[in-house]
Structure formats: C-alpha cells, structure tokens
Structure 1
Amino acid sequence: MFTGRARRKEYWMFFLFNVLISIVIGFIGGLVGDSGILANLYSLAVLVPGIAVGVRRLHDTDRSGWWLLVPIANLVFLIQEGHAGPNRFGPSPK
C-alpha cells in the first residue's frame, strides 16, 4: 500500500474523486440535517488510502513519503513530473 510509485494522474484522480464525493456527502448531509457524521466517517474511511497514494506519488518524484508531513513542500513535489525510469522506490509506473 505504501510501496511503489503513483503517477500524477492516479494521485489527482483520487483527489478529484474524493472532492466530488465530499461535495455530494455535504449536500446530502444538508438535506437530512446531518451534523457532519457522514463527512467524518467518509474522511476516516479514505484517510489511509489518501496517505498511501500521497506517499507513492512522492516516491515517483524520488522522495521519501515523510515529506507528506511538510504541507507546502509536498504540494510542490506532488505536481512535479516523476523520474523517468526506475528509482529507489521501484520501476516507473508509466
């Protein structure tokens, strides 16, 4: 789950999917008078997969997953093109 590499497309598709689902959950929660329980449960459900795809995205840029703890730096790293060919985290996902 935390090994290997993820292309930019995989990371941003995961991100976009979660934003869309969060919007839908917020809309449904507003309709039924939910106090945020649905959103909290969804956030908890995607926490580990979200961290995993972020770590693998950083691996594709040949950086340690620990960079995920530095918000501004990892934003720059996550949008960069990955290294061509294999690196210390595995073969290229392309």
Structure 2
Amino acid sequence: MFKALIRFADFKGRSDRSEFLQFLLLSLTLALLPSYVWSMAWGLADGLRGLPPHKPASLLPYVGLFLAIPALSVTIRRLHDIDRSGWWLLLNLVPGGTAVLIVFVLQDGTAGDNRFGRPQPKADGAAAAA
C-alpha cells in the first residue's frame, strides 16, 4: 500500500491499477483522518476551557503538499502503464480533461512490455504471504 510513497520521486517505469488505487485510498485516509482528529481535539480543548467551539486551522493544505509529488509520480507511472506519456496530465488544464484522465487511469495496463518498460510483477499468494 505504501509502494507509491516509497517510489515518490520515480517518474520512470510503470504502476498498475491496483498500486494507483491503493495510493488513492491511502491519500484519502491521510487527508481525512488527521483533519478529523485535529478538529475533534480542538473542540475538546475548547470545551474543557469553557469556550464556545470554533473552527481550527485545516491540516489539508499540509497533507496536500506532502502528497503532491508522490501523486504526480504515481499518476505518470500509471499513464506509462497504459502506454501514454506523462504529458497527458496537461489535460487537467482543459475543460473536461480530468474526466478523460479518470478513464485513462482506470483502464487495464498494456499486456507485456511497452515503450516504458516491463509490467510490474504480480504478487503470488505464496510470495504475498511471506
């Protein structure tokens, strides 16, 4: 699940769909869980001091900065897996381009080698259990 964070600065090679979706799930967890805990702790502290609750500063910008480079690299590697260049990310600047990119990253990767390298080896049940 942390493979994309380990390969955070690797813009070459390929990432399969499961690595991309696991990173997406991890990103959402890292973005929402600390913010929720922070808000709850802030509200509890206000309650213990007898103050009316107020909204604390959000942690989301900091989490977003932490995950920006890993998100960029895993998305580029995911595009490589479907035999597309990372320059396709510029579609985000075009209206409707994000929808096209969503379709791209959800496609199956190309079977066998492509111009970006070999596909990632699949984890066997025996190898995953070890």
Q: Does 1:73 align with 2:100?
A: yes
- 2:21 pairs with 12, 35, 38, which one? 12
Larger of the two Rg values belongs to structure: 2
Inter-partner Cα distance in structure 2 for 1:47 and 1:34: 23
- 1:40 pairs with 54, 61, 83, which one? 61
Taking structure 1 as the reference length, what is the TM-score of the superposition?
Answer: 0.91
Taking structure 2 as the reference length, what is the TM-score of the superposition?
Answer: 0.67
Inter-partner Cα distance in structure 2 for 1:47 and 1:80: 23
Alpha-carbon deviation of 1:69?
Answer: 2.5
Name which structure has the greater RCO, CA cutoff 8 Å, separation 6+: 1
Q: Could you say which structure has the higher helix fraction?
A: 1
Alpha-carbon deviation of 1:17?
Answer: 0.7
Inter-partner Cα distance in structure 1 for 2:87 and 2:37: 35
Inter-partner Cα distance in structure 1 for 2:89 and 2:21: 15
Inter-partner Cα distance in structure 1 for 2:56 and 2:20: 30
- Structure 1's unaligned 5+ residue stretches are none
- Structure 2's unaligned 5+ residue stretches are 1-9, 43-54, 92-97, 122-130
The residue that corresponds to 1:54 in the other structure is 75
Letter aligned with residue 43 of structure 1: G
**Matched residues, number:** 93
